[in-house]
């Protein structure tokens, strides 16, 4: 039954719709840890690839190059060689369905939703090394050894390498034309691409590289590529001229003589020039190449059997193409390093932390991180029951109700005398009456800060209470020296006179 082309088309459309709904449902679940986020991304990537493959099949069916779909539609409409007979087509189809169920009487209806829902529970197999820790860190040790053991590298520590490997423009251009450097770039790019595809499967890396290529071509044409501003040449000459001796460090022939006869001979041989003669003659011959390209030098300076000027010119052009390829590899690596900037920083911090730990401490910390990740995942799955909307405690759970009632935690108290300042909790509210803010507010109202005004937070109520006290005691009966209270740093309460006496004696 399902072998018909139209049925295959219908099933393909249904599969695409189911997968789209499944992707939406998966994204509605917030991952609790980095591991869950990684698995979710790979599941979605797998479903997107399946949708793409199914869509390509549908396109082939709708293009109908062999005419099979057109013939099947015509057959459903009852079109035959003798004419159109709808009833005949209907009964033929009914006979085919009955024959199918007669041959498969025990066939059950398959719930496709169950199979698709199972995809949400799958944990894709993603391979990471122990150093990468499920994509949290980079594992650059192999590339680090290649760097420190190369001519273009330098002997540095691994943590320092993590800072420098992304800055390829700092490497001298004269060291970039070796086969060793190109192989290093290719391996570095291969690892970064492989790591990025495993940690960010939903990113379209091909589209990113297309954008990098277009920007690179524009900058290369304008000679604005960082480190390659002169199109792969240094001082307008072939880069290979500086593989042995960098002429930029020598201003005269006399300075070049100090390089020694052997180094001069090696440098001349590398350029295909005559390497004989005295040290002075060798220096003069090599110094000519500082301001004159090889293809413009007189043939008499070249050794027998070496390249002619035309061959050197072709080699220079070939080298220019090579420099563009190297620069493009660097541009790709730089882009990937920008995308993985957070991971690079996290890797360096992890390396520096491990340098201060023993092996046992590192193993204990790794087990603790794994246990903590599993615990957090389990806690996130459980919904916290909090119908009274109590404040959360240190453990992430609601505090006991008796503690909430006892201390008034979570309750907001406002004091107009303090400038409408908010105090959260009963204890903080009671303590604020002795603080400077409240005392200053009372002084501004011309009212003494006594026990009579505790629990009074309204300016109007404080003024009315002060008037009642004055009426009851009389204005002249108020004795601030004896009744106005002061508090020292230890919380002791004194009247104004006692406080002033103790202060003069230096006791408080």
Of the pLDDT bands very low, low, confident and very high (cuts 50, 70, 90), residue 247 is confident
Residue bearing the bigger pLDDT, 339 or 315: 339
What is the C-alpha to C-alpha distance for residues 210 and 217, in angstroms, rounded to an integer? 11
CA-based nearest residue to 195, from 144, 138, 143, 146: 138
What is the C-alpha to C-alpha distance for residues 492 and 508, in angstroms, rounded to an integer? 10
436, with CB counted inside 10 A (0-12, 13-18, 19+), is exposed
Residue 456 Cα distances to 216, 427, 432, 450, 479, angstroms: 72, 15, 12, 11, 22
Bridge partners for 413 per DSSP: 423
Reported in sequence order, the residue ranges of 72-159 that DSSP labels E, i.e. its strands, are: none
Angle between helices 179-199 and 141-148 (to 10 degrees): 160
> Does the structure show a pLDDT above 80 at 186?
yes
Number of helices (H) and strands (E), helices first, in the chain?
21, 4
What is the C-alpha to C-alpha distance for residues 462 and 413, in angstroms, rounded to an integer? 17
Sequence-distant (≥ 6) Cβ neighbours of residue 421 within 8 angstroms = 414, 415, 432, 437
pLDDT of the residue at 58 = 92
209, with CB counted inside 10 A (0-12, 13-18, 19+), is middle
Least trusted range by pLDDT, from 25-39, 211-225, 360-374 = 360-374
Of the pLDDT bands very low, low, confident and very high (cuts 50, 70, 90), residue 240 is very low
| Cα three-residue angle 49-54-59, rounded to 5 degrees | 125
CA-based nearest residue to 453, from 442, 437, 440: 442
CA-based nearest residue to 79, from 69, 64, 89: 89
Would you give the end-to-end CA distance of the chain in angstroms? 100
What is the C-alpha to C-alpha distance for residues 134 and 129, in angstroms, rounded to an integer? 8
Residue 67 Cα distances to 61, 64, 90, angstroms: 9, 5, 22
What is the C-alpha to C-alpha distance for residues 272 and 269, in angstroms, rounded to an integer? 5
pLDDT of the residue at 249 = 64
CB atoms within 10 A of CB 475: 7
> Does the structure show a pLDDT above 50 at 381?
no
What is the C-alpha to C-alpha distance for residues 265 and 382, in angstroms, rounded to an integer? 78
E strand or H helix that includes residue 415:
strand 412-415
Read off the tokens for 299.
Answer: 């043939």
pLDDT of the residue at 489 = 82
Please report how many Cα atoms fall inside a 13 Å half-sphere around the Cα of residue 115, on the Cβ side. 7
pLDDT of the residue at 101 = 79
What is the C-alpha to C-alpha distance for residues 439 and 424, in angstroms, rounded to an integer? 19
Read off the tokens for 192.
Answer: 């970064």
The predicted-structure confidence for 280-338, as pLDDT tens digits, reads as follows 888 888 888 877 777 777 777 777 665 544 444 444 444 455 678 888 899 999 999 99
Residue bearing the bigger pLDDT, 342 or 407: 342
Sequence-distant (≥ 6) Cβ neighbours of residue 11 within 8 angstroms = 2
| Contact call for residues 189 and 196 (beta carbons, < 8 A) | no
Bridge partners for 302 per DSSP: 273
| Contact call for residues 256 and 283 (beta carbons, < 8 A) | yes
What is the C-alpha to C-alpha distance for residues 20 and 119, in angstroms, rounded to an integer? 13
pLDDT of the residue at 55 = 93
Residue 424 is given by DSSP the state E
Residue bearing the bigger pLDDT, 74 or 2: 74
Least trusted range by pLDDT, from 131-135, 287-291, 459-463 = 287-291
Of the pLDDT bands very low, low, confident and very high (cuts 50, 70, 90), residue 207 is very high
Q: Rounded mean pLDDT of 388-400? A: 71
Q: Which of 5-9, 269-273, 344-348 tops mean pLDDT? A: 344-348
> Does the structure show a pLDDT above 50 at 238?
no
Q: Rounded mean pLDDT of 461-484? A: 75
Residue bearing the bigger pLDDT, 270 or 167: 167
Q: Rounded mean pLDDT of 251-276? A: 79
Of the pLDDT bands very low, low, confident and very high (cuts 50, 70, 90), residue 154 is confident
> Does the structure show a pLDDT above 60 at 96?
yes
| Mean pLDDT score of the chain | 78
> Does the structure show a pLDDT above 60 at 375?
no
Of the pLDDT bands very low, low, confident and very high (cuts 50, 70, 90), residue 190 is very high
Residue bearing the bigger pLDDT, 297 or 107: 297
What is the C-alpha to C-alpha distance for residues 32 and 227, in angstroms, rounded to an integer? 43
What is the C-alpha to C-alpha distance for residues 508 and 487, in angstroms, rounded to an integer? 10
3-state secondary structure (DSSP) of residue 413? strand
CB atoms within 10 A of CB 493: 12
Share above pLDDT 90 across residues of the chain, in percent, rounded to a whole number:
11
Q: Rounded mean pLDDT of 149-159? A: 88
The predicted-structure confidence for 35-82, as pLDDT tens digits, reads as follows 888 888 888 898 899 999 999 999 998 998 888 888 778 777 766 666
pLDDT of the residue at 112 = 56
> What value does the CA radius of gyration of the chain take, rounded to a whole number of Å?
42
> Does the structure show a pLDDT above 50 at 411?
yes
Angle between helices 68-76 and 86-103 (to 10 degrees): 100
The predicted-structure confidence for 429-458, as pLDDT tens digits, reads as follows 777 777 877 777 888 888 888 878 888 888
Residue bearing the bigger pLDDT, 377 or 154: 154
């Amino acid at each position: 039954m399902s072998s018909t082309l139209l049925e295959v088309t219908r099933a393909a459309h249904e599969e695409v719709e189911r997968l789209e709904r499944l992707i939406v449902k998966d994204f509605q679940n917030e991952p609790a840890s980095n591991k869950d986020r990684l698995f979710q991304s790979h599941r979605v990537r797998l479903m997107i690839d399946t949708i793409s493959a199914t869509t390509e099949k549908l396109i082939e069916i709708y293009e109908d190059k062999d005419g099979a779909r057109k013939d099947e539609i015509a057959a459903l409409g009852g079109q035959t060689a003798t004419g159109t007979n709808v009833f005949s087509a209907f009964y033929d189809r009914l006979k085919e369905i009955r024959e199918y169920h007669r041959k498969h009487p025990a066939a059950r209806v398959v719930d496709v939703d169950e199979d698709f829902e199972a995809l949400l529970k799958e944990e894709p197999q993603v391979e990471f090394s122990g150093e990468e820790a499920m994509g949290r860190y980079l594992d650059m040790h192999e590339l680090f050894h290649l760097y420190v053991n190369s001519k273009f590298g330098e002997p540095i520590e691994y943590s320092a390498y993590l800072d420098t490997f992304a800055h390829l423009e700092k490497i001298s251009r004269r060291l970039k034309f070796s086969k060793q450097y190109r192989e290093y770039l290719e391996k570095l790019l291969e690892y970064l691409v492989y790591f990025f595809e495993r940690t960010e499967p939903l990113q379209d890396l091909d589209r990113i590289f297309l954008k990098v290529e277009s920007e690179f071509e524009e900058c290369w044409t304008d000679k604005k590529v960082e480190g390659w501003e002169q199109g792969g040449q240094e001082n307008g000459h072939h880069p290979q001229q500086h593989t042995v001796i960098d002429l930029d460090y020598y201003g005269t022939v006399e300075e070049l003589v100090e390089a020694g006869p052997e180094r001069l001979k090696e440098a001349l041989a590398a350029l295909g020039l005559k390497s004989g003669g005295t040290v002075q003659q060798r220096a003069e011959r090599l110094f000519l190449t500082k301001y004159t390209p090889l293809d413009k030098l007189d043939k008499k300076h070249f050794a027998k059997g070496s390249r002619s000027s035309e061959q050197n010119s072709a080699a220079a052009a070939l080298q220019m193409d090579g420099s563009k390829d190297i620069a493009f590899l660097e541009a790709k690596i730089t882009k990937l390093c920008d995308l993985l900037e957070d991971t690079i920083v996290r890797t360096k911090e992890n390396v520096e932390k491990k340098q201060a730990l023993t092996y046992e401490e590192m193993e204990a910390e790794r087990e603790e991180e794994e246990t903590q990740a599993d615990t957090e995942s389990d806690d996130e799955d459980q919904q916290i029951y909090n119908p009274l909307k109590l404040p959360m405690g240190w453990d992430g759970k609601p505090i006991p109700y008796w503690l909430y009632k006892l201390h008034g935690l979570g309750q907001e108290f406002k004091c107009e005398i303090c400038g409408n300042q908010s105090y959260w909790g009963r204890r903080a509210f009671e303590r604020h009456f002795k603080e400077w803010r409240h005392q200053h507010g009372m002084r501004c109202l011309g009212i003494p800060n006594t026990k009579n005004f505790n629990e009074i937070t309204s300016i109007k109520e404080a003024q009315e209470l002060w008037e009642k006290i004055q009426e009851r005691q009389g204005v002249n009966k108020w004795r601030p020296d004896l009744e106005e209270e002061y508090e020292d740093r230890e919380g002791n309460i004194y009247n104004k006179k006692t406080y002033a006496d103790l202060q003069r004696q230096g006791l408080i």
